[in-house]
Chains A and B, each alone.
Chain A
Amino acid sequence: MMDPCAHCEQMMQPYLDHVLTDEEKDQAEAHLAECVDCQRRYKFEESLRIYVRKAVTEEMPAELRQKLAALRIPLE
């Protein structure tokens, strides 16, 4: 039998990606309900994803928007 925290760690990425089966999800949640350490780490991973996305998001420059619009093929 695998260490429950190690097992929980393996489940983390697929859990956060919502690709676990219902059974696997129940297993992960049962362990999370009683393990504060794993709970913290899941929560951290979730915050990290949101934080990374915010940190690297750059808006498209206005000049580029104009350049793209200028590439349209004119109607004859």
Chain B
Amino acid sequence: MALAGTVDRMDAEPEEAQRLATEARDRVRFEEDALALSDQVYRVARHLANSREDADELMQETYARAFRSWRSFTPGTNMRAWLLRILTNLNIDRGRRQQRAPQMQPLEANDYFLYDRLAENGDGVSDEDKVVERLSQDDIVTALSVVPHDFRDVLVLVDLGDFSYADAAQILDIPVGTVMSRLHRGRRILKRELAESALEEAT
């Protein structure tokens, strides 16, 4: 029996070594996959955060947490969504969100007003691609930053991050119906801001 015990112990060590090696390999692969997604995550994070500096910090906190808790990621599921879920939670927890006064202005009654307004000012040019070019890049960046967080989060995830309604719902932990209504409202707020900046420039 003494002999058998010795053999068991000798087998156990290579097994443990094997397990550790597999785990190390999985972890390295996880880290590499996560880093390969960082450009895409940043493009969304930049506009979930209030500034470039905030985005920078949020990205670092997100990746630090992701690397620590890599075991809770289920291989084969959407890693970009998983990373953004960490990031949006951190963004909310940290109280980075400047609370703005609630939007008291009524929303425009229709979805077409921005086009109508830009086309009006357009000396009869009605090529839709040219109409859109009447908006400056700065105006668009500013207009997006003015959209309140609840609406902007959804807008940024769906329209910039190409997440489905269902993914956005999971990332933000809200029902799909809420994603749809916030998206709708967020897009209108954005267009209202753009229409206002276009009007200011025209006058």
Contacts and interface: CB of A to CB of B under 8 A. Distances in A.
* Most interface-central of B115, B160, B184, B190 (chain A CB within 10 A): B115
Interface residues on A, range: 20 to 34
B127 to A, nearest CB: 9
B141 interface: yes
Contacts of A12: 111
A44 B132 contact: yes
Interface residues of B, number: 45
Interface of B: 24, 27-28, 31, 35, 38-39, 42-43, 46-47, 52, 56, 59-60, 63-64, 67-68, 110-112, 114-115, 119, 126, 128-129, 131-133, 135, 137, 140-141, 144, 158-160, 165, 183-184, 187, 190-191
B89 to A, nearest CB: 18
B55 to A, nearest CB: 9
B56 A9 contact: no
B132 A47 contact: yes
Q: Which 3 A-B pairs have the closest CB atoms?
A: A60-B42, A55-B140, A44-B128
22 contacts: A13-B184, A13-B187, A17-B165, A41-B115, A43-B128, A44-B115, A48-B114, A49-B159, A53-B159, A53-B160, A56-B46, A56-B140, A56-B144, A58-B42, A58-B43, A60-B38, A60-B43, A68-B59, A72-B67, A73-B27, A73-B31, A75-B28
Interface of A: 6, 9, 12-13, 17, 19, 40-41, 43-49, 51-53, 55-61, 64-65, 67-69, 71-73, 75
